[in-house]
Amino acid sequence: MAAPAALQRSVVSPAGRHTASLIFLHGSGDTGQGARTWIKQILSQDMVFQHIKVIYPTAPARPYTPMKGAFSTVWFDRYKISNDCPEHIESIDSMCRGLTDLINDEIKNGIAKNRILIGGFSMGGGMAMHLAYRFHQDLAGVFALSSFLNKDSAKNCLALKRNDSVLPELFQCHGTADELVLYSWGEETNKMLKSLGVSTSLHTFPNLNHELSRTEIEKLKTWIVKKLPAEAAKTSE
């Protein structure tokens, strides 16, 4: 089988020495550049760090069942937008391989795996949870903004229960007025992963719909720097 093509990406370089990396996965139908621009509009500047490179990859276009099979830039297919149906695990696992290549690119650049964070908005956050908790349990952490896992994902994540290692911490944000990905779906995802041994937090935003807010991104930035602190410069080799 042909290797998946490398994902297109938009990159915000760190202001100083690069010692950690953050991968931000966009929502369905968006692009890496689109997610970067959205955050830039909210913050009035790029989300930039002194030592962390921020990578916004773009999902390849594929037929998307909730859009009657029309092509869309989505990380995986869904049978429907609901937490009460099976996950489209074949398309999820296929994209996990492409995103693993992205993680490996950072490792080849000298970044330790425990200095890499992954997360995203909506479908991007769901993709990040699958990627980290099923395949990359040694990442620094996971964030999921207005995201959910389907109820049957618990059986896909059961391997977590048998793992004695410390799992990546989950940082979740969700608006109570979200009409596309219900707040209760995010809440159930949080409880499910917590029951499997994940250290989780869920930040609730009253009256926020299916969108990002400045307060939310500022909270996320604080958590990112806590998980990926600046490293002291080495005085000698």
Those residues with Cβ within 8 angstroms of residue 46's Cβ, 6 or more apart along the chain or in another chain: 12, 36, 39, 40, 54
Selecting among 18, 77, 153, 178, the annotated active-site residue is 178
Helix (H) or strand (E) holding 25: strand 20-25
At 21, list the tokens: 């990396």
112, exposed or middle or buried, with CB in 10 Å at 0-12, 13-18, 19+?
middle
CA distance 192 to 129: 12
Concerning whether 210 is annotated as a catalytic residue, the answer is yes
At 152, list the tokens: 């049957």
Selecting among 46, 88, 210, 213, the annotated active-site residue is 210
Concerning whether 28 is annotated as a catalytic residue, the answer is no
CA distance 134 to 36: 27
Selecting among 21, 28, 122, 147, the annotated active-site residue is 122
Active site residues: 122, 178, 210
